[in-house]
């Protein structure tokens, strides 16, 4: 809350579902009251309804819809903590709350010791993290073209959308900012995405599977849509079958592309602590933010009013990311 500049003149809303970690709620109340801020909790159903009225269950990667009352309650607060397991991320309500000037920090229900490791603790550390992430955002924002390659066969090129470039430094200290606890990364929702992305063995499917890939998957992307999912192993079959089950072409659209910047994250820690999305939610995940990863995704894109219920976040190792031909990540290592 100190990193987020919560003060005694503010109101803090805590948004939960029935599975949210009650220790986090209690800690939030205690911290807000220590600071002298108002604090209240809004509990919403863990199942929402999507834009076409179908029921959406948890674990879809941030597609939780908020009912009207809670939206108004959040807009009346200065700061919102999102402790729901699913998260309201790729939904119009998030935009509405941010437009009211309310800042939102997504936390989920990760274990406290996982959260502790990902977040900078001292104010100086927080400032350094913010500066580093914003420097990378500046690089991304000023580029026209982003290209990703890897030794496994990835070679995909896209047009950067500077107005969608975002810096995620893991806390929210400005009106209307949204972020995820400890999430250090930059990303954008590019256009004209063309090429091949090979998800290699050992890469990590952050959502919806919270699992490592065993057999490589080749995604052929044309004009921002995955047109082919190839691969001999079960992982390609699983991804193809799951995506096709939605009967929705938008599921195959590409969404955000970026790279991770959290030096406390590693690509292997999820094997121990991040395999239970139904219990811990789908955020504050190292799998999204370990330094030097290449994180890309599929499905929803609020910038294009595309709200589909299937969202893949895939974090890849050993990729190189080039902005207008200049590397920012080389074979999985940040270029200083
Ligand atoms: Fe995502």
> Tell me, what's the pLDDT at 286?
84
State in Å: Cα 217 to ligand 1 middle. Answer: 19
Choose between 288 and 294: higher pLDDT: 294
Q: Using DSSP bridges, classify how beta strands 191-199 and 326-330 pair: parallel, antiparallel or unpaired.
A: unpaired
Report the C-alpha gap between 335 and 321 in whole angstroms.
10
Which class would CATH give 11-109?
alpha beta
State in Å: Cα 34 to ligand 1 middle. Answer: 34
State in Å: Cα 257 to ligand 1 middle. Answer: 9
| Bridge partners, 12 (sequence order) | 39, 79
pLDDT of 49 over the 90 cut: no
pTM of this structure: 0.90
State in Å: Cα 297 to ligand 1 middle. Answer: 6
Counting beta carbons within 10 angstroms of the beta carbon of residue 144, is it exposed (0 to 12), middle (13 to 18) or buried (19 or more)?
exposed
Choose between 89 and 144: higher pLDDT: 144
pLDDT of 54 over the 70 cut: no
State in Å: Cα 87 to ligand 1 middle. Answer: 11
State in Å: Cα 311 to ligand 1 middle. Answer: 7
State in Å: Cα 38 to ligand 1 middle. Answer: 31
Q: Using DSSP bridges, classify how beta strands 11-16 and 79-82 pair: parallel, antiparallel or unpaired.
A: parallel
State in Å: Cα 175 to ligand 1 middle. Answer: 22
Report the C-alpha gap between 243 and 181 in whole angstroms.
28
Task: Tell me the per-residue pLDDT of 90-111, one tens digit each, with 9 for 90 and over.
Answer: 888 999 999 999 999 999 888 8
In this prediction, residues 265-281 reach a mean pLDDT of 79
Domain edges within the chain: 11-109, 121-334
Choose between 9 and 208: higher pLDDT: 9
State in Å: Cα 33 to ligand 1 middle. Answer: 33
State in Å: Cα 2 to ligand 1 middle. Answer: 26
Counting beta carbons within 10 angstroms of the beta carbon of residue 117, is it exposed (0 to 12), middle (13 to 18) or buried (19 or more)?
middle
Choose between 218 and 64: higher pLDDT: 218
State in Å: Cα 36 to ligand 1 middle. Answer: 34
Q: Is the peptide bond before 208 cis (omega within 30 degrees of 0)?
A: yes
């Amino acid at each position: 809350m100190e990193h987020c500049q919560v003060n005694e003149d503010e109101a803090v809303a805590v948004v939960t579902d029935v599975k949210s970690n009650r220790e986090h709620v209690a800690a939030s109340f205690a911290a807000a009251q220590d600071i002298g801020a108002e604090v209240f909790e809004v509990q919403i159903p863990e199942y929402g309804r999507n834009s076409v009225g179908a029921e959406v269950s948890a674990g879809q990667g941030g597609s939780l819809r908020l009912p009207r009352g809670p939206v108004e309650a959040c807009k009346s607060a200065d700061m919102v903590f999102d402790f729901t397991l699913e998260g309201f991320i790729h939904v119009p309500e998030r935009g509405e709350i941010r437009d009211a000037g309310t800042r939102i920090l997504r936390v989920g229900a990760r274990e406290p010791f996982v959260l502790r490791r990902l977040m900078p603790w001292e104010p100086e550390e927080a400032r350094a993290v913010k500066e580093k992430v914003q420097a990378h955002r500046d690089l991304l924002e000023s580029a026209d073209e982003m290209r990703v390659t890897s030794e496994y066969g990835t070679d995909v090129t896209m047009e950067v959308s500077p107005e969608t470039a975002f810096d995620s430094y893991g806390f929210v200290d400005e009106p209307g900012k949204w972020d995820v606890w400890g999430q250090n990364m930059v990303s954008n929702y590019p256009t004209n995405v063309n090429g091949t992305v090979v998800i290699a063995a050992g890469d990590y499917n952050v959502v919806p599977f919270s699992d490592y890939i065993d057999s490589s998957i080749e995604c052929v992307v044309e004009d921002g849509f995955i047109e082919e999912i190839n691969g001999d192993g079960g992982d390609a079959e699983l991804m193809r079958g799951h995506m096709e089950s939605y009967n929705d072409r938008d599921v195959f659209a590409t969404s955000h592309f970026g790279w991770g910047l959290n030096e406390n994250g590693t690509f292997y820690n999820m094997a121990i602590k991040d395999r239970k999305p139904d219990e811990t939610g789908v955020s504050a995940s190292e799998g999204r933010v370990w330094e030097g990863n290449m994180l890309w995704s599929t499905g929803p894109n609020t910038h294009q009013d595309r709200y589909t219920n299937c969202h893949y976040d895939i974090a890849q190792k050993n990729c190189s990311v080039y902005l207008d031909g200049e590397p920012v990540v080389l074979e999985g290592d940040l270029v200083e």
